[in-house]
Structure 1
């Protein structure tokens, strides 16, 4: 892997060390290695998202594509992601977390190769669709895997590395693509895919998944490996299987195996039961509000927003990259120190303010007032939005989604929430230009209002999961039948 490709992984190693400084749990080398291997998939996710911008002119010139044809190339990624998301939970449940990540990288490698060697538009579309399928699977399995292997006081920061590596993937692909041919850029995209694929053999499978499929001895062995050979994992091993605190640590293997087996696998339809209502409301609500707050409209069309506001597109785009990565890193560091809720509330408030400032900028333009000031106001608004979103709303909904669902519905719930995410992403991406044509002021005021609604939703419904085991979180949210 070249220098630019290894930089994010070296940075992540240093960041993981800083997260651990104030934590009571001491991470083992295998825990850090497993996390870094997992988030190399997140980098692939980001590089796929970031590819279409720097490659646009080269692909359109070399293959004689029109704007409409290239728009199909860009948008088919989201369609593929929806397809991948629908099967993500089932694949991760039946094949395991490691094999699911490996399968996703096979999709991504085939996708990158189809793009790199394409001679006609159809091969571009097929490659982009395959990339999307891999992304849809990765967007579910990476945060879930990290949440399941990490101690409770490190879980938030480690899981949030997923979002940071997506940012790195987008940013570095954009920067590298400014200097390289689009075919070479696609071939470079296969490098982190191969890195994860070849590294999966050396990391531990999720102890919670192993317990779910009845491999209890392997589950405890994997947990011991992740926590260190001298760590006492007996209590955590039992809690993984038995969600109810009525069972003491002295409960024997036979008894808690029977209790575990009573928790039957829920289908997608079975997910919509009263006992899972709160978890489903929180998980879906956060994802829907995250997307309808305008993130993909702003991210995908930032250049046109700056031009419409009368500001330099190059300066604005560079400023966004400069703000995004350090704010995401700050969110990762603070996740297990301040907790999820404070970061979410600050982040949602910032996105609300940012959209309001952009709306105000366009409103001033319509009134032909403060013409020198309004472009700067638009830039400030977009940067406030981008920085605030990166701090919490970008990554924390995925962290919480990986924490709140019980193991027997995690697959179906994860598939459903991830599918909703990509559907909402497509709706906003598709509708944004039409909304801007209708009213730029109205579009951003609407986004600001939705971000305001997000603040209320978080304050009223979202639980604090900092410092609690996954089982404690799930028992507090979901209703379980009483054992008699």
Structure 2
């Protein structure tokens, strides 16, 4: 029996045609799983307030030079890339629920190592561990939520993954305003601990239970999450679940969504968002803002608000429309950002300058100072545009488009792509700015945003209102 036939023997997990499920526990289960993304959002945002704090208050053995600070910000993405591979293996073998529970261990351990750090290597080791947990959580949480949600709310709940990520980043920025780096690391242990306690009471996803031939447990999970199992279609049971094999890549139901998923993750990072977010405080300090922490918190608030807007309209507007709109906004904002640098830093002596938002030569009353608001506005517009589409939707689509029998491997490849690209962009963006000048670097990201819009229009399917089985059937031509 082929994997496709095996998958067709699973019940079509959709609501009865006569009514929408009344169960509300699905929202509680989604919240429990989304605490993982909240934790990795905090881990991502931690470096921004922690780096200045380490430079100001840490003992000499922990002082970060420029190179160490760069690694402190970027090494979390290397750990996350490894976590993506580990998560792809875990999610199919240990299950969705247990994988989420296990990722709390490196989260708490990593922040504990940072708290107890005696040298720079312990700081980097702690960041690497939290990055590993980020990779697992970023893969498993969207999969868990997509498999427990019914189609009418899958966009809303799936978008909450990114909403919790940006909330975690905002929490790190806001807490970093009042806490020094050790106490900030202690705070980082709280969300994963809460997730561990809450997830213990949540069920495994019905789809995973069915692949393990646990029919009664799957129906019990449905009743817990959706309030009823009445009306489920029950095809013949007893098919054997098969894992991924390379020969499957020849099938359109596998290679089409894989190409789409990898491309979405690559374009998300090539937009340049992490280059801005990882060093938000540093960016604003170089911009001569009086309180860079407050400016970073403002950026975080914009992210949270517009990601919440995206979550609320996702199941009405659809994925493709929001992706295209988001891409267009990012094109204009990054083009304006590049134009600002072209107007203010066109001199040869500034070719290697990587400070953002304010020109070197600006004096009080200088005409260039007014142009600084062009950069501030462009940054805020970019963050809002990213939050509406290219922030949440690639993660949501990744959890929707893959058939069950390849989901672990395929999502692992997508998450690996995302975090590896995040590392490259975060680590090398300054070098690109030196080579192309700042305006050239931001115009390059604008060009990638143009490509992302074209890719959305030509290749990304609309999954709004469809069951996961219907999405798979469309790729397979059924």
Whether TM exceeds 0.5 here: the answer is yes
Please give the alpha-carbon distance, in whole angstroms, between the structure 1 residues aligned to 2:109 and 2:248. 33
Query: Given the alignment, which residue of 335, 340, 344 partners 1:361?
Result: 340
TM-superposed CA distance for 1:213, in Å, is: 2.1
TM-superposed CA distance for 1:252, in Å, is: 3.8
Please give the alpha-carbon distance, in whole angstroms, between the structure 1 residues aligned to 2:320 and 2:222. 28
TM-superposed CA distance for 1:219, in Å, is: 1.5
| Residues 387-396 or 309-318, more deviating | 309-318
Aligned counterpart, 2:48? 53
TM-superposed CA distance for 1:311, in Å, is: 6.6
Report the CA distance shift for 1:34/1:281 in structure 2 as closer, same or farther (over 3 A): same
TM-superposed CA distance for 1:51, in Å, is: 0.9
Matched-pair contact (CA < 8 Å) for 2:47–2:73:
yes
Aligned counterpart, 1:155? 154
In the TM superposition, what whole-angstrom CA distance separates every residue of 1:429-458 from its partner, at most 9, and x where no partner exists? 111101112211111111111101111100
Aligned counterpart, 1:113? 112
Match of 1:466, SS?
coil
Aligned counterpart, 2:321? 342
TM-superposed CA distance for 1:318, in Å, is: 4.0
Query: Given the alignment, which residue of 405, 408, 411 partners 2:408?
Result: 411
Please give the alpha-carbon distance, in whole angstroms, between the structure 1 residues aligned to 2:291 and 2:154. 38
TM-superposed CA distance for 1:322, in Å, is: 3.1
Aligned counterpart, 1:39? 34
Match of 1:409, SS?
helix
Query: Given the alignment, which residue of 367, 384, 388 partners 2:381?
Result: 384
In the superposition, the TM-score normalised over structure 2's length comes to 0.86
Aligned counterpart, 1:396? 393
Please give the alpha-carbon distance, in whole angstroms, between the structure 2 residues aligned to 1:113 and 1:311. 32
TM-superposed CA distance for 1:367, in Å, is: 5.3
Matched-pair contact (CA < 8 Å) for 1:89–1:412:
yes
Matched-pair contact (CA < 8 Å) for 1:303–1:317:
yes
Match of 2:389, SS?
helix
Report the CA distance shift for 1:475/1:364 in structure 2 as closer, same or farther (over 3 A): same
Matched-pair contact (CA < 8 Å) for 1:146–1:158:
yes
Aligned counterpart, 2:24? 29
Unaligned runs of 5+ in 2: 1-18, 348-365
Q: Residues 260-279 of structure 1 correspond to what in structure 2 (within 5 A)? A: 261=240, 264-267=242-245, 269-270=246-247, 272-275=249-252, 276-279=254-257
In the superposition, the TM-score normalised over structure 1's length comes to 0.85
Report the CA distance shift for 1:312/1:377 in structure 2 as closer, same or farther (over 3 A): farther
Which structure is higher in RCO with an 8 Å CA cutoff and minimum separation 6?
2
Matched-pair contact (CA < 8 Å) for 1:316–1:379:
no
Report the CA distance shift for 1:463/1:373 in structure 2 as closer, same or farther (over 3 A): same
Unaligned runs of 5+ in 1: 1-23, 239-250
